[in-house]
């Protein structure tokens, strides 16, 4: 499988994993010469360009989009229209117009669109999905999900203080796909309404809480941004309450953060005994026997899923519908913030 990569920060990490998993990275691009020089060292067999449009003319099976967060949709549309399979980092789109353009491009293309949402396949989220899909906790009613970084004030302003960088220009609600995508995968539902709150009105850019109504009637509460007490499971913590019990990430330091607790209430079990247990994820190894770090498992799965789309005609692991829905929660959440935290309905995007 011949792969091209656009954007060589996270893109270089993804390209390195593509190669480890047996894909051929034949072309890459970045407008930053320093990033191109670094990539030339690590991706010695790839041609490295400044302009992403060169990759449209390249003989590629698939492209990985890891350029700026709020600029993925136009590139995804262009590659889909060339019949090149797309694996796109978040966000899938930056507004409704882009969302519609992307949905239409995916529909008319012979190629597939996959969202590079590794958080859906992190070890703790996979354990939670297994419990939910086995109906161990009944029907899901309340999901909470955190994506939180504990950083010093100086480090936060170093990361988001430059309005010329995408991290500085995006809305504080925008980077929500690492919470919303696991929620949509766990429930199989769609968001219908979003209410967003700044955590601290004296520092309203640093962290937000969103309350999201789901199409099945339940509620999701997401917290993201910069708050102390970050989870050691790659900054992600997820809790799922159902009509018969609870499944949630263990709040513990270190490797135990990847484990989950599943509780089934005694009144639901037939014998009256409450079951409450912790489950640790099994280790994942590659065919060559090497161990995959827990925080890389999601990346490995999305890249293997992308390869299956291209080589075997498999369906995308995270397809365009939930990718667009998760991304638009951030857009609609920003409107809610601007309106003083009024509930804002999600757009109806029937294309």
Q: Which of 3, 4, 5, 7 binds ligand NAD (CB under 6 A)?
A: 7
Work out the end-to-end distance of the chain between its first and last CA atoms, rounded to an integer number of angstroms: 31
Q: Is 90 in the site for ligand NAD (CB under 6 A)?
A: yes
CB of 286 to ligand NAD, least distance (A): 19
Sign for the CA dihedral angle at 54, 313, 304, 69 comes to: positive
* Beta bridge mates, 260: 249, 279
- What separation in angstroms does the CA of 211 have from each of 164, 200, 342? 29, 16, 11
Q: Is 68 in the site for ligand NAD (CB under 6 A)?
A: yes
User: How many positions of this chain bind ligand NAD (CB under 6 A)?
Assistant: 21
Q: Is 146 in the site for ligand NAD (CB under 6 A)?
A: no
* Beta bridge mates, 14: none
Q: Are 61 and 84 in contact (CB under 8 A)?
A: yes
Stretch that binds ligand NAD, among 60-68, 265-273, 308-316, 334-342 (CB under 6 A): 60-68
**Binding mask of the shown chain, residues 22 to 41, with x at each position contacting ligand NAD by CB under 6 A:** -------xxxx--x------
CB of 345 to ligand NAD, least distance (A): 26
CB of 202 to ligand NAD, least distance (A): 27
Q: How far is residue 129's CA from residue 145's CA, in Å, rounded to a whole number? A: 14
CB-nearer residue toward ligand NAD: 87 or 132: 87
Sign for the CA dihedral angle at 350, 192, 177, 242 comes to: negative
3-state DSSP helix/strand/coil % of the chain, to nearest 5 = 40, 25, 35
Helix (H) / strand (E) element for 158: namely: helix 153-160
CB of 176 to ligand NAD, least distance (A): 11
Q: Is 67 in the site for ligand NAD (CB under 6 A)?
A: yes
CB-nearer residue toward ligand NAD: 28 or 128: 28
Tokens of 57: 């003319």
Q: Are 225 and 189 in contact (CB under 8 A)?
A: no
CB-nearer residue toward ligand NAD: 92 or 140: 92
CB-nearer residue toward ligand NAD: 181 or 195: 181
**Binding mask of the shown chain, residues 160 to 199, with x at each position contacting ligand NAD by CB under 6 A:** ------x---------------------------------
Q: Which of 26, 60, 61, 69 binds ligand NAD (CB under 6 A)?
A: 69
Q: Is 167 exposed, middle or buried (0-12, 13-18, 19+ CB in 10 A)?
A: middle
Q: Is 292 in the site for ligand NAD (CB under 6 A)?
A: no
CB-nearer residue toward ligand NAD: 5 or 103: 5
- What separation in angstroms does the CA of 142 have from each of 48, 111, 211, 303? 46, 36, 11, 30
Q: How far is residue 209's CA from residue 197's CA, in Å, rounded to a whole number? A: 5
Q: Is 118 in the site for ligand NAD (CB under 6 A)?
A: yes
Q: Is 136 in the site for ligand NAD (CB under 6 A)?
A: no
CB of 175 to ligand NAD, least distance (A): 7
Q: Are 205 and 175 in contact (CB under 8 A)?
A: no
DSSP characters for 229-243?
S--TTTTEEEEEEES
**DSSP state for residue 89 in the 8-state scheme:** P
Q: Is 200 in the site for ligand NAD (CB under 6 A)?
A: no
CB-nearer residue toward ligand NAD: 76 or 332: 76
Chain positions contacting ligand NAD, by CB under 6 A:
6-10, 29-32, 35, 52, 66-69, 71, 89-90, 116, 118, 166
């Amino acid at each position: 499988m011949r792969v091209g990569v656009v954007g060589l920060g996270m893109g270089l990490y993804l390209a390195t994993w593509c190669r480890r998993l047996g894909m051929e990275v034949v072309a890459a691009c970045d407008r930053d010469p320093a990033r191109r020089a670094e990539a030339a060292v690590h991706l010695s067999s790839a041609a490295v360009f400044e302009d992403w449009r060169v990759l449209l003319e390249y003989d590629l099976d698939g492209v990985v989009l890891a350029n700026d967060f709020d600029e993925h949709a136009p590139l995804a549309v262009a590659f889909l229209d060339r019949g090149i399979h797309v694996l796109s980092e978040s966000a899938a789109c930056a507004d409704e117009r882009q969302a519609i353009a992307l949905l239409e491009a995916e529909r008319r293309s012979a190629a597939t669109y996959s969202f590079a949402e590794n958080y859906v396949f992190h070890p703790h989220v996979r354990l939670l999905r297994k419990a939910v899909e086995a109906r161990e906790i009944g029907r899901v009613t309340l999901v909470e999900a955190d994506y939180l970084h504990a950083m010093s004030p100086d480090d936060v302003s170093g990361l988001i203080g430059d309005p010329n960088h995408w991290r500085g220009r995006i809305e504080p609600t925008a980077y929500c796909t690492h919470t919303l995508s696991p929620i949509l995968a766990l429930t199989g539902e769609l968001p219908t309404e979003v209410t967003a709150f700044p955590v601290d009105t004296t520092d309203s850019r640093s962290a937000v809480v969103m309350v999201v109504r789901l199409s099945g009637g339940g509620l999701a509460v997401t917290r993201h941004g910069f708050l102390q007490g970050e989870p050691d499971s790659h900054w992600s913590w997820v809790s799922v309450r159902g009509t018969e019990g609870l499944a949630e990430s263990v709040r513990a330091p270190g490797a135990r953060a990847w484990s989950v607790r599943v509780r089934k209430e005694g009144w639901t079990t037939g014998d009256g005994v409450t079951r409450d247990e912790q489950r640790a994820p099994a280790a994942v190894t590659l065919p060559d026997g090497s161990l995959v770090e827990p925080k890389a498992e999601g990346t490995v799965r999305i890249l293997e899923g992308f390869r299956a789309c291209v080589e075997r005609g498999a369906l995308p692991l995270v397809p365009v519908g939930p990718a667009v829905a998760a991304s638009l929660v951030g857009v609609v959440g920003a409107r809610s913030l601007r309106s003083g935290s009024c509930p804002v309905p999600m757009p109806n995007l029937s294309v």
